[in-house]
Amino acid sequence: MSDAPVSQHRLTRRVQFHETDLAGVVHFSCYFRYMEEAEHALWRAAGLSIHPKDAEVGWPRVHASFDYHRALRFEDEFEVWIRIVAIDEGTIRYTCQLSRGETRIATGRFTIACASRQPNQPMRRTAIPPEIRARLAAAAGGTADDDEPLA
């Protein structure tokens, strides 16, 4: 693990049978799982866990969207590229691209908020802890509104 903050991560995976519908096409909801799986891998690459035991903060999703360009099918191997495009006091915004070779499959965006987790208390937005902020960074040149393929 590098001491430099992490801003992006690539994850390669294969479509599993249970992720497909009767036509053999990946169900649209799986794309959100793929994006989240890549997010968790990005955090691990930064030496973090998004949900460590006894964590004082949690990360609820406050926005998520996908645009679908091509279908994925059973046993297709594909890449999920996730990139942090913005970090402010209490939120992290990501953009994500799924591709198979040179073919863009889908593009997604989501935002997570940092929220305090206190026993018997409702979750409330809070500042991102400094130790997390030090290990994550926004990618240079990225914006949360990017619809262009990631390079």
CA–CA gap between residue 31 and residue 33 (Å, rounded): 5
Q: Quick check: is 20 in a domain?
A: yes
Q: Quick check: is 24 in a domain?
A: yes
Buried b (16+ CB within 10 A) or exposed e, 74-111: eeeebebbbbbbebeeebbbbbbbbbbeeebbbbbbbb
Q: How many domains does the chain have?
A: 1
Q: What is the pTM of this model?
A: 0.89
Q: Quick check: is 98 in a domain?
A: yes
Q: What is the mean pLDDT of residues 22-43?
A: 97
- Find out whether 67 and 38 touch, Cβ atoms under 8 Å: no
Q: What is the mean pLDDT of residues 110-126?
A: 92
Q: Quick check: is 114 in a domain?
A: yes
Q: What is the mean pLDDT of residues 110-134?
A: 94
Q: Quick check: is 42 in a domain?
A: yes
Question: Which CATH number does the domain housing residue 36 bear?
Answer: 3.10.129.10
Q: What is the mean pLDDT of residues 118-126?
A: 89
Looking at the predicted structure, is the pLDDT value of residue 69 above 60? yes
Q: Quick check: is 140 in a domain?
A: no
Instruction: Name the phi and psi angles at 111, rounded to 5.
Output: -130, 135
* Geometric angle at alpha carbon 23, from 29 and 150, rounded to 5°: 45
Q: What is the mean pLDDT of residues 120-149?
A: 80
Q: Quick check: is 26 in a domain?
A: yes
CA–CA gap between residue 56 and residue 124 (Å, rounded): 11
pLDDT in tens, 84-95: 999 999 999 999
Identify the domain containing residue 105 by its residue range.
8-133
Average pLDDT, the chain: 92
Burial of 128 (0-12, 13-18, 19+ CB in 10 A): buried
Question: What's the start-to-end Cα distance of the chain, in Å?
Answer: 23
Q: Quick check: is 63 in a domain?
A: yes
Looking at the predicted structure, is the pLDDT value of residue 143 above 80? no
Residue 147: per-residue pLDDT: 46
Percent of the chain scoring above 90 in pLDDT: 82
